[in-house]
Structure 1
Amino acid sequence: MEGEKMTRMDRWGYPLRTSSDACVAAIDAYYGEVLCYGRNRAVILEAPAKDPACLLGNALAAHFLSSKDPSKASSLLASATAALENATSYEKAVYESIIPLVGDRRDEEAALRRHVEFVKEFPNDLASLKRAQILCFYMGRPHLSLSLVEQALPHNQDKSFIYGMLAFPLLELGRMAEAKSAARRGWEINKFDIWSQHCLCHVLQHDCHFNEAVNFMESCSSTWGSCSSFMYSHNWWHVAVCYLEGNAPFGKVLEVYDQQIWKELQKSDSDQADVFLNALGLLLLFDVRCQLDAVEDRLLLAAKILKDKSLWHVEWLLDILSLWALARAKESLKAEELLSSIKSRNLILNKKKQQEMQRATLLAEATYEYGRGNDDKVIDILGPDFDAMDYKMIGASDEQLDVFNAIWYNALLNAGHASKAIDLIEKQLKKREGCAFLWRLLEKAYNIGGGGDAGVASEKARALEISYFN
């Protein structure tokens, strides 16, 4: 009977205690939204509304609201706690993995430890596996992320979502051929698997197959209508970056920025912070390519909105990008206030977390100085051995981190350290020989430093620029 508290099964075949079929339906719908990066994850709030005594519904709803409405999240978690006595072992395990992620004493290390144990016991729960992988991403632990999905893979070989989840840590670890194979398999099983699409684009972009990446993503774009603001604008960010790196007409890049990324803000249910993360990431790429003058009006508009502190401290990467934008737009007081706030917030972390995020704070300060045009300070702050790939703790993919290496190369060149820049750029070209932008930087470095053949570098760049979209 509908009103009777009984054991029901969720989408994964795991048992939960609830008096409501509608509660289970809301939980299952939420799982789908999480895996599809859907914009209706708020559907989970229907679960505790349909059954206020369901532990699983309350716990998942609490996690969903943990950053949006902490007070309500704490209330929901208290309801989950009250339901522990009659809950199943599966529900209790979900509850235990979520507890460290709700409330003022957020403890990502504890949460990750509990998720590692959870995946061993309940490998079919792909939504919890996704939550574990997101933790790994923001903590810069791709090896653990891969280990977790490999544990779950034998139990989920017929499910599309598992392959996108396999592909992402593989590409983070530089295992591009395996990542491509996994992403393509996920997409072939389910053409609406947005994460597999995204991972395949990552590989094509890394391999400098920009035209192929754009064609693939634009062919998939009709499936993005129900995506969250982050996933929608991030997929279009990838398209824009491929156009930019592939030397497509500049108008194509601006069209994506204006009509796909920035326009997302006009939607009533858009997430402003997620859109800004991708918009600012693209604007910074214009800057390191000395093309910012063409989009100065867009930068000034973004900086004006960024003075609203509601966008601060949502994500480390967004804060760092915001520092650059505010500094470059000459909003010096606000930039200094944000930087000071970042440093203050880092001081209240536990000692271990402070040490982990110290480099992130330095990157924030260096990016601020780059925005101000202080190349010598950028070099002093980052030190001689800087490599952006060591900064995954800010919650950024390799493609998102690449721009900070470009900042580093530009700072070295502008400050007269051409030989150092040449060594780094030549090393990077061994990994991405098909990147015209790196050849242009090398040409500039050779012209400044007098070493190497700038003409050869120019010819390499020109040949690539002609080949991409022609």
Structure 2
Amino acid sequence: MWTDTLGNPVTLDGGGASLALLNDFVEGFIASEARAANVLQAQHDPSPIVQAAIAAVHLFAESATAAASARPHVLRAQAGAHAATPRERQFIAAVAAWADGDIPSAVALHEAQAREHPRDLASLKLGHYHLFNRGDSPGMLRMALAALPAAADVPYLHGMLAFAWEQCHALDEAETQARTAIAMRRKEPWAHHALAHVLLTQGRLHEGHDFLADVSETWTGLNSFMVTHNWWHQALFALDLDRADEVLALYDQQVWGVACDYTQDQVNAVSLLARLELAGVDVGSRWDDVAGYLARRTADQVLPFLDLQYLVGLGRAGRPEADTLLANIAARARAAGPTDAAWAEVAWPAARGLLAWTRGDHAACVRDLGQALPRLLEIGGSHAQRDLFAQIHLDALVRSGHLGGAQNLLQPQLRAQPESRRLRRQAAALYAALGLGGATEHFL
């Protein structure tokens, strides 16, 4: 029997050629490399595990049509599953559950896989994807720790552990795991990403900027999300250091334009443009270009985190499609059940507040987005990504005259980020508006 790059037995009909393409998926996926999509070249290979991998690639499109594209491959995988190994059958079942929209079942299968077949790190990474999108960072950590005794030799597992620790706010453990991964393999972009989160959270802005600049030479052959997202993190460091020209250059050259039709590249762009505007930077006509792609997303409703970002972009560009998207979010919220209640209870009020902010109705933003903020974790996204919504809420507080509330939120951020020139500027303006300009030195 054949084995994949991690030593997992695989059932293949296509022999060595199929194995090479399957390994591209397995290792490419956990290494955040574009070659994971090479498995699409095996469209006609009946091997069940190959067909399941192809289905997964289609589902990562995160679009309204992704499940339909994946389903024929799921059916082929299921048709041959009787001849596959138990590990392969479990992976096939998890991908099938994903295609059916049954994420709780998919997560349960990936968790079982982590315990029973801990070197199936493609399954673990996919489980992390689902858990991340549900805001379940403890689940991410639990799953990765289950695999550690059997897969400690794989640098990518340490990168996954680093991000899970960081999302659980265990920053020292996250940094240790990230540096372990990088010591094992300098080109480990997910570990770079996890360490960037740690350094940003701890206010080590200059160190973070220098670190990403140093390792960026290794960001070759990556999927578009990973390369644009790591550059997005570099832009966050530069933005807090008040290097607006650098941030705009990073946006134009690294963050936007790699795969404009891909969901994750679009939300990177929306998030960075909005943050630039919140920092007082004129972004020119950049919203118009992004909005042309976002306008095609109004009927997606795949993940609430994505829809909220699309809504901000369409609203800031002044596009009428923003109202269509808001109506579709409302419909999705009405259809939500117990396993996807975040659409109704979090995404829907957040959507109303975010669109209000883009249109200058700051009081409505404070009311509606403020309602959603305590549970925003449930829509997915990382702490750093969701911080955009907190920044928008803070801006709305200031613009609607809730200055005391704004001070209560801004001052702790400033204490945690003493290197942030962006926050110092915002705080100075706020204290002047509060009539405390003469006491600013006690706060900054």
Q: What is the SS of the residue equivalent to 2:11?
A: strand
How many Å separate the matches in 1 of 2:60 and 2:236? 30
Which residue matches 1:465? none
1:381-432 CA-to-partner distances (Å, cap 9, x unmatched) read: 1347944xx4123331111111211111111111111112212222334443
**Contact 1:166/1:182 (<8 A) preserved:** yes
Matched, 1:428 2:421: no
Matched, 1:114 2:99: no
One-letter amino acid of the structure 2 residue matched with residue 394 of structure 1: I
How many Å separate the matches in 2 of 1:275 and 1:457? 41
Matched, 1:290 2:283: no
Which residue matches 1:302? 290
Which residue matches 1:261? 255
Structure showing greater radius of gyration is: 1
Which residue matches 2:19? 24
Residue of structure 2 aligned with 1:404, choices 389, 392, 399: 389
1:327-367 CA-to-partner distances (Å, cap 9, x unmatched) read: 22322x22111111111123333343135652122112211
Number of aligned residue pairs: give it.
439
How many Å separate the matches in 2 of 1:431 and 1:376? 28
After superposition, where does 1:214-363 map in structure 2 within 5 Å?
Answer: 214-248=209-243, 250-265=244-259, 271-291=261-281, 294-309=282-297, 312-313=300-301, 315-331=303-319, 333-355=320-342, 357-363=344-350
> Using a 3 Å threshold, how does the CA distance of structure 1 residues 282 and 457 change in structure 2: closer, same or farther?
farther
Q: Which runs of 5+ in 2 are unaligned?
A: none
Higher relative contact order, structure no. (Cα contacts within 8 Å, ≥ 6 residues apart): 2
**Contact 1:39/1:227 (<8 A) preserved:** yes
How many Å separate the matches in 1 of 2:161 and 2:21? 27
% identical equivalent positions: 28
Residue of structure 2 aligned with 1:440, choices 416, 425, 436: 425
**Contact 1:164/1:186 (<8 A) preserved:** yes
Q: What is the SS of the residue equivalent to 2:2?
A: strand
TM superposition score normalised by structure 2: 0.92
Residue of structure 2 aligned with 1:145, choices 128, 131, 140: 140
> Using a 3 Å threshold, how does the CA distance of structure 1 residues 189 and 67 change in structure 2: closer, same or farther?
closer
One-letter amino acid of the structure 1 residue matched with residue 151 of structure 2: N
Which residue matches 1:366? 353
Which residue matches 1:467? none
Which residue matches 2:155? 160
**Contact 2:298/2:324 (<8 A) preserved:** no
**Contact 1:230/1:271 (<8 A) preserved:** no
1:286-308 CA-to-partner distances (Å, cap 9, x unmatched) read: 122222xx212112332344333
**Contact 1:442/1:454 (<8 A) preserved:** no
Matched, 1:34 2:29: yes
How many Å separate the matches in 2 of 1:13 and 1:457? 59
How many Å separate the matches in 2 of 1:67 and 1:244? 30
Q: What is the SS of the residue equivalent to 2:341?
A: helix
How many Å separate the matches in 2 of 1:206 and 1:242? 11
Which residue matches 2:83? 86
Which residue matches 2:55? 62
One-letter amino acid of the structure 1 residue matched with residue 401 of structure 2: G
One-letter amino acid of the structure 1 residue matched with residue 410 of structure 2: I
Q: Return the offset for 1:310.
A: 7.1
How many Å separate the matches in 2 of 1:44 and 1:439? 49
> Using a 3 Å threshold, how does the CA distance of structure 1 residues 310 and 44 change in structure 2: closer, same or farther?
farther
Which residue matches 2:164? 169
Q: What is the SS of the residue equivalent to 1:34?
A: helix
Which residue matches 1:4? none
Which residue matches 2:365? 378
How many Å separate the matches in 2 of 1:13 and 1:181? 26
Q: Which runs of 5+ in 1 are unaligned?
A: 1-6, 461-470
How many Å separate the matches in 2 of 1:132 and 1:397? 16
Residue of structure 1 aligned with 2:2, choices 5, 8, 13: 8
RMSD: 2.3
> Using a 3 Å threshold, how does the CA distance of structure 1 residues 383 and 277 change in structure 2: closer, same or farther?
closer
**Contact 1:444/1:454 (<8 A) preserved:** no
The runs of at least 4 consecutive aligned structure 1 residues that moved more than 6 Å come to none
